[in-house]
Structure 1
Amino acid sequence: MMLPLPEGEFDAYLFDCDGTIADSMPIHYLAWQRALAEYGATFPEELFYAWGGRTPVSVIEDLNEQQGLAMPVDLVDERREQVFQQLLPDVRAVPEVLEHILSSYGTLPFAVVSGSSRESVTASLNALGLLDRFDVMVCAGDYLNGKPDPECFLAAARLLGVSPGRCLVFEDTDFGVQAAAAAGMAAVRVPPPWQRHPSGVSSA
């Protein structure tokens, strides 16, 4: 079933990647669990989803502070990404979002706007066969302030040459929706995994 869109005409679609294009949040959570377990850190599933949209570096830094740890940020992030890449063949597209991508491709420019690394986003889109659908990618490292700051969405609009008010954002997180609103953009909220997977999200 296609997601309903807000009223109005739009000149570009901006998509978050994880949990929006790619149904990858359960896989990301498993990768986080495995990487953090090596350092005795915990990351409750509820907090993982609450922090959706943040960059991995900021998550590790805050977990260090909260749990009195000194995990090496770069190494943990590298390990998390390594496990995610191993699990990536299992990823699928979010059907409700895929329908919009397939139906509007070629008529509107698309951008991916993600808190994940360019490597991770590229791998996810490649696995889904969708990489060539996107004109612009704005990923972690391309901007200073992560969601809910609007910087990443404004950067994507600028790269596409489209006014922010004419962009429609597809997002699955509170931070992402807040960032879109701060950028002056309309947004479509993508259902979370537990609504798409009634049996629940695996945390094994």
Structure 2
Amino acid sequence: MDIDDHALILHGYWRSGTSFRTRIALNAKGVAYRQVGHDLRIGQQRGADYRAINPQGLVPALEVDGHVLTQSGAIIEWLDERYPDPPLLPQGMIDRATVRAMAMVVACDIHPINNLRVLDRLRDDLNATKDVVKGWIAHWIGEGFATLETMIARHGGRYCFGDRLTVADCHIVPQYYAAERFAVDLSPYPRLCETVLRVRQEPAVAAAHPDRQPDAD
């Protein structure tokens, strides 16, 4: 069944890394979509109206022809299957596995540990100070970026993997934005920095930047 592109509704939050990565994928595919913002700072994602859409109470969620897709990685994979040109995964099996591994360094090993709900637990339940929380964030970004620095040096080209935008870029660019927000020292990762600064000039990536979203401050 064909899907009306204009029926796509992205529920997200302008500064959310998972929403950011999903916007990059949508823009790269040239798909028209409408955004609905949910301010995570005041807990709108936990309201009954949004939980009726996504019971987990997390962003993003993508409404598609009467269905709701959740989890950014699953949404991006669906987009790549539904709109195969341009592809966000390379052709070779090993290359695809490598790109997915690069994305998972962010999606599994950095972002979840630094997610707002985790940081709130540190602050509210464990009484972590501002400096402790900042150190926590920097530590886990540093662990992941050290790995990605090596992977980009091995596999990167114009983009984080090779010379085309991939799922790896969709994940790494938003995580870099978060690192800048939290003033993480990025000097140990010159190849990663050089690549991200180049990739985020691409129109599809630039248009996904948090500051350019309709719900941005």
Structure with greater helix share of residues: 2
Q: TM over 0.5: same fold?
A: no
TM-score bin, normalised by smaller chain = 0.3 to 0.5
Comparing both chains, which one has the higher relative contact order based on Cα–Cα distances under 8 Å and sequence gaps of 6 or more?
Answer: 1
Name the TM-score, length of structure 1 as normaliser.
0.35
